Chains A and B, each alone.
Chain A
Amino acid sequence: MENNQNVLEVRNLKINFNTYAGTVKAIRDVSFDLRKGETLAIVGESGSGKTVTTRSIMGLNSPNAVIAGGSIMFKNQDLLKKSRKQMDAIRGNNIAEIFQDPMTSLDPTMKIGKQIAEPLIIHKGMKREKAYAQALEMMKLVGIENAEQRINNYPHQFSGGMRQRIVIAIALVNYPEILIADEPTTALDVTIQAQILDLMKELQTKTNTSIIFITHDLGVVAGMADRVAVMYAGKIVEYGTVDEIFYNPKHPYTWGLLNSMPTMDTSGTELPSIPGTPPDLLDPPKGDAFAARNKYALEIDTKQQPPFFKVSDTHYAATWLLDPRAPKMTPPEQIIERQKHYAKLTHEAIDEHKDKHVEEQEEQL
């Protein structure tokens, strides 16, 4: 498969949750593509719909979730139309997931060898010995030392970082086309975080798996992602390559997110934050959901939802500020600094750009 080909196409996804208080419109028209071998980061604060989106891809939303529209195309088939049994055959085989907390995501009463071998036995119909042999290979691949002995250990005999390696081994043992990583490093301490991220990148180059990386940590995004989608209140508000999002952000929400990320220069002063809270999705606002927290909001923002405006072939943002009729706005100071940096980047040769980019990422991390 060519690396530019889409392995997953999410179109106009709408998910509601029926609750006692009413219908919560958790996902409100989300569309994105995932390409072969790339890492797409979905960022946004809690409750923005990141996890619900990926749960829908896995077919694992809670029973009160209602698909109100849209499609999730994988291998020319709509995952939303699959039965539970059909989804069982895809989960853990073509699409796998890594969860947030490695301390609780392994079965405490089952030896880890069996836990890693399980997807092979389920999907490939492997015999025990063969599956265990492959599980052992996988344990070595994710960097578990003494794998021959450790295969008979239980989860409580491993540290958090090691457990997350095991969870990754379980996810990748069938070499899935898509790996969903839902905040895989949030529960780990920073040094272990870096190790796990390195491991994921290394395995991705070996297996050419596409990764959907859910996080609220922009520092992690800079090091991991090829492309970034920013979600707010159940919608994607801006998406582009990692450079475009980091150095040429257009949506005021992305500005806010970037500004609230500490950098090496941040010291002494209070870290900027986005004022207010996300809107109540029981009754989403008519216009731009971010308008109430946005000091750059225009009058139209309260009346009509902004469409996506094209910034470049790969970069789109849903904000009225990009409309030709909008008044000129000066973004925050730090964002201007970032944009200056971006201008410099785009003028340099592609190769240098790459090198520079890598350095920048390291700084970010």
Chain B
Amino acid sequence: MVKYLGKRIFYIILTLFIVSTITFFLMKFMPGTPLTNQAKLTPSQIHQIYKQYGLDKPVWQQYLVYLAGVVHGNFGVSFQFSNQAVSYLIGSRMGPSLIIGGQGMIVGVLLGLVLGSLGAVKANTWIDTTSTIVSILLVSIPSFVLAVLLQYYLGLKLRWFPIADWGGFIYTVLPTMALAASPLAETARFMRTEMVDVLSSDYIELAKAKGLGKVGIIYHHALRNSLIPIITIIGPLTVNIMTGSMVVENIFSVPGIGEQFVKSVLTNDYPTIMGLTIVYCAMLCVVLLITDILYGLIDPRIRLSGQSN
């Protein structure tokens, strides 16, 4: 297990290196400069600023400088926020993103499992149809449309939740709902298909022959076996949540890294873009590592070598 983890962590570092390299060069090829009002500056002023931030050097040199900094734990200084350190900037904005992202993921996956299971157990009834329609709707509506709809109906009309801003649980409800939609729909669709399959398998027949009731069969035998493929989609779902959060955080003015990321891209805040890319990438890698470990916990057949017996 230790050996396995070591190997995986090595690969994660390798992945981060490759991703940050590609991002660095792509970012440099993008048009525009970090300067907000270039027209008002004299060429010497521009040169002065470029020199201050090291932007006057060739791109490959900038890359090496950046890399050296990262290895020493220095992610640079943000261009847009009065020279705050990128690591501090991200650290202070991580909380809200993790809260709404985590809540969205948990709520979405759990409700998806329930919805999908219901659809499978009551296959080809109105419950199944409803579950299918709900998941198709939620997967088709883009999160920004859903976010605006939620703001309008639950925020403006019913006044149940604040429309935007940040400051306590009640403010997380609408962003969470907007983020949960896509994982909910995906999980429900996968769960239904998988559960229908499992419910027609021989070991469910044997469970029936044991005299186990319907609930017992689902709880003791069907659920765990249906979960195995669901774990596979947790990775892509995390990506959904991350990309979704960039839009959703903006709409609900959540002071998170998603909102930050969009701002940084719009202002060519190179160090912040790089820092956030690395953070996003690292989070995804960790989630994928966790899912691989989860596999072994749920399915004894794919337990990592050295772990079984």
Answer whether A and B are interacting partners: yes
Binding site for B on A (CB under 8 A): 58, 60, 85, 88-93, 96-97, 99, 101, 104-110, 118-119, 122-123, 154, 156, 167, 170-171
Given A108-B300, A109-B299, answer yes or no on A96-B209 (Cβ-Cβ < 8 Å): yes
Q: Is B210 an interface residue (CB 8 A)?
A: yes
Q: How far is the CB of A259 from chain B (nearest CB, A)?
A: 33
List 9 interface pairs A-B (beta carbons < 8 Å), by A numbering.
Answer: A88-B212, A92-B209, A104-B203, A107-B221, A108-B225, A110-B221, A122-B211, A122-B216, A123-B211
* Across-interface contacts of A107 in B (CB, < 8 A): 203, 206-207, 221, 225
B212 partner, pick from A122, A154, A156, A167, beta carbons under 8 A: A122
A99 partner, pick from B202, B211, B220, B221, beta carbons under 8 A: B202
Q: How far is the CB of A15 from chain B (nearest CB, A)?
A: 18
Given A88-B213, A119-B211, answer yes or no on A109-B298 (Cβ-Cβ < 8 Å): yes
* Across-interface contacts of B220 in A (CB, < 8 A): 110, 118
A92 partner, pick from B211, B221, B224, beta carbons under 8 A: B211
* Assembly CA distance A101 to B206 (angstroms): 11
User: Which 7 A-B pairs rank lowest in CB-CB distance, beginning with the nearest?
Assistant: A92-B211, A92-B210, A91-B211, A104-B202, A154-B300, A105-B202, A97-B209
Given A89-B211, A93-B211, A122-B212, answer yes or no on A105-B206 (Cβ-Cβ < 8 Å): yes
Q: Taking CB as reference atom, which chain B residue is nearest A93?
A: B211
* Assembly CA distance A88 to B207 (angstroms): 10
Chain B: interface residue count, which band? 20 to 34
Contact A167 B206 (CB under 8 A): yes
Q: Is B205 an interface residue (CB 8 A)?
A: yes
Binding site for A on B (CB under 8 A): 201-203, 205-213, 216, 220-221, 224-225, 228, 298-301
Q: How far is the CB of B232 from chain A (nearest CB, A)?
A: 16
Contact A109 B211 (CB under 8 A): no
Q: How far is the CB of A62 from chain B (nearest CB, A)?
A: 10
* Across-interface contacts of B203 in A (CB, < 8 A): 104-108
Contact A104 B201 (CB under 8 A): yes
* Assembly CA distance A156 to B302 (angstroms): 10
Q: Taking CB as reference atom, which chain A residue is nearest B124?
A: A63
Given A92-B210, A119-B211, answer yes or no on A101-B300 (Cβ-Cβ < 8 Å): no
* Assembly CA distance A175 to B188 (angstroms): 41
A88 partner, pick from B202, B211, B224, beta carbons under 8 A: B211
* Assembly CA distance A39 to B122 (angstroms): 38
Contact A108 B301 (CB under 8 A): yes
* Assembly CA distance A310 to B54 (angstroms): 106
Q: How far is the CB of A94 from chain B (nearest CB, A)?
A: 9
Q: How far is the CB of A5 from chain B (nearest CB, A)?
A: 24
* Across-interface contacts of A88 in B (CB, < 8 A): 211-213
Other CB < 8 Å A-B pairs besides A60-B209, A170-B206, 6 of them?
A60-B205, A92-B212, A99-B206, A106-B203, A108-B225, A119-B210
* Across-interface contacts of A110 in B (CB, < 8 A): 220-221, 224
* Across-interface contacts of A104 in B (CB, < 8 A): 201-203
Q: Taking CB as reference atom, which chain A residue is nearest B221?
A: A107
* Across-interface contacts of A105 in B (CB, < 8 A): 202-203, 205-206
* Across-interface contacts of B216 in A (CB, < 8 A): 122
* Across-interface contacts of A96 in B (CB, < 8 A): 209-210
Q: Taking CB as reference atom, which chain B residue is nearest A101?
A: B202
* Across-interface contacts of A123 in B (CB, < 8 A): 211
Contact A99 B205 (CB under 8 A): yes
* Assembly CA distance A88 to B212 (angstroms): 6
* Across-interface contacts of B224 in A (CB, < 8 A): 109-110
* Assembly CA distance A107 to B203 (angstroms): 5
Given A60-B205, A99-B202, A99-B205, answer yes or no on A108-B211 (Cβ-Cβ < 8 Å): no
* Assembly CA distance A91 to B299 (angstroms): 28
B208 partner, pick from A60, A101, A106, A167, beta carbons under 8 A: A60
Contact B209 A91 (CB under 8 A): yes
Q: How far is the CB of A154 from chain B (nearest CB, A)?
A: 4
* Across-interface contacts of A167 in B (CB, < 8 A): 206
* Assembly CA distance A234 to B221 (angstroms): 33
Q: Taking CB as reference atom, which chain B residue is nearest A123?
A: B211
Given A85-B213, A88-B212, A122-B211, answer yes or no on A106-B300 (Cβ-Cβ < 8 Å): no
* Assembly CA distance A56 to B205 (angstroms): 14
* Across-interface contacts of A170 in B (CB, < 8 A): 206, 210
* Assembly CA distance A171 to B300 (angstroms): 24
Q: How far is the CB of B102 from chain A (nearest CB, A)?
A: 27
* Assembly CA distance A60 to B225 (angstroms): 22
Q: Taking CB as reference atom, which chain A residue is nearest B303?
A: A154
Contact B211 A90 (CB under 8 A): yes
* Across-interface contacts of B202 in A (CB, < 8 A): 99, 101, 104-105
* Across-interface contacts of A60 in B (CB, < 8 A): 205, 208-209
* Residue of A90, A99, A109, A154 with highest tally of chain B CB at under 10 A: A109
Contact A109 B210 (CB under 8 A): no
* Assembly CA distance A243 to B299 (angstroms): 49
B210 partner, pick from A108, A122, A154, beta carbons under 8 A: A122
Q: How far is the CB of A303 from chain B (nearest CB, A)?
A: 41
* Assembly CA distance A97 to B300 (angstroms): 26
Contact A109 B212 (CB under 8 A): no
Q: How far is the CB of A310 from chain B (nearest CB, A)?
A: 36
* Across-interface contacts of B298 in A (CB, < 8 A): 109
Q: How far is the CB of B184 from chain A (nearest CB, A)?
A: 25
* Assembly CA distance A101 to B208 (angstroms): 16
Q: Taking CB as reference atom, which chain B residue is nearest A104?
A: B202
* Across-interface contacts of B213 in A (CB, < 8 A): 85, 88
* Across-interface contacts of A93 in B (CB, < 8 A): 211
* Assembly CA distance A222 to B192 (angstroms): 46
* Across-interface contacts of A122 in B (CB, < 8 A): 210-212, 216
* Assembly CA distance A97 to B203 (angstroms): 12
Contact B205 A91 (CB under 8 A): no
A58 partner, pick from B201, B209, B212, B301, beta carbons under 8 A: B209
Q: How far is the CB of B245 from chain A (nearest CB, A)?
A: 33
Given A85-B213, A108-B225, A118-B212, answer yes or no on A156-B300 (Cβ-Cβ < 8 Å): yes
